[in-house]
Amino acid sequence: MSWSLGETRTLAFKAARGAGMAWGLAEEMSDAVVWLQGRGLPGVSNLCRYLSWYHPSKLLFPKSAEEINEDNNIPYCPIIVGTAISDGLIKIPIGVNTDVSLGLLRQPLLLLPFVSASVPDDYGLYVGNILVSIALGKEKLKSYLDISDVLLIDEAECFIRPVSNALPNSQFKATPLRLPGCYGGCIAVLNVFANKTYAPATELSRSAGAGADSIDDD
């Protein structure tokens, strides 16, 4: 069995909502997951791991880059930090050779789509000391260095830093526009969260059923 990226997006959104994420954050999360999967990166796996940890009480909302506390034991949500970067709340000082600390992040790979869309090519996302930024150009997807060590990392200090030297890059092949059957376990987990968005069954709903009555002339 396999799933299209459209089906994956819908399920990711429902799962995020079922876990308690606000509507807007759930939309951003589902977009990030599909962005990663379409580039051969494990967005669905990271979403499963994130939602299994997630609780709204754990969320921190940084108001600016200056307010991010690197010593905080509670990791930031990568979607909240990502939207803060996209919206300009966390500003990247372009042209200045400086680091921007993003603090401790949970499932930092989920931040990658936001950084790739908002940060110039001469800046990169560092998960710890590993540069994981991806640049799109002329229909080719490039990744600096080997990022296999951080694909499923749960927590890490993250930074946006200038990329001063031309680094070797490797080509990523876009995956087929379907999620393969090996993701079945993750899909099952996401369905558990998604089911929380449905109205609970009652005796009345069981007896009446859904949809048309016994005669449907429409």
pLDDT digit string (tens) for 139-161?
344 444 456 667 889 999 998 88
DSSP summary character for residue 76: B
DSSP-derived secondary structure letter, 151: T
Q: Is 165 exposed, middle or buried (0-12, 13-18, 19+ CB in 10 A)?
A: exposed
Q: Which of 94-103, 130-139, 164-173 has the lowest mean pLDDT?
A: 164-173
What is the dihedral angle through the alpha carbons of 97, 98, 102, 103, rounded to the nearest 10 degrees?
150
pLDDT tens by residue, 172-216:
555 557 888 889 999 999 999 999 998 877 777 667 665 555 555
Q: What does the pLDDT look like over 30-68, one tens digit per residue?
A: 999 999 888 888 999 999 999 999 887 766 666 555 566
Give the SS3 label for residue 143: strand
Q: What is the mean pLDDT of residues 63-81?
A: 71
Q: What is the pLDDT of residue 145?
A: 47
What mean pLDDT, rounded, does the chain reach? Answer: 79
Give the confidence band of 6 by pLDDT, cuts at 50, 70, 90.
Answer: very high
The predicted structure's pLDDT at residue 216: 52
Domain limits, the chain:
3-197
pLDDT, mean of residues 107-135: 82
Query: Within 10 Å of residue 76's Cβ, how many Cβ atoms?
Result: 26
- The least confident of 2-6, 14-18, 57-61, 157-161 is 57-61
Give the pLDDT confidence score for residue 142 in this predicted structure: 46
**CB-based contacts of 146-153 (< 8 A; 24+ apart in sequence):** 146/170, 150/108, 150/109, 151/41, 151/42, 151/46, 151/109, 152/42, 152/45, 152/46, 152/49, 152/109, 153/107, 153/108, 153/109, 153/127
Predicted local distance difference test score (pLDDT) of residue 100: 85
Strand 169-172 to 178-179 pairing = unpaired
State the pLDDT at residue 29. Answer: 96
Q: How large is the average pLDDT for residues 128-136?
A: 70
* Range with lowest mean pLDDT among 126-130, 140-144, 167-171: 140-144
Residues 5 and 34: beta-carbon distance below 8 Å = yes
Please tell me the predicted confidence (pLDDT) of residue 176. Answer: 58
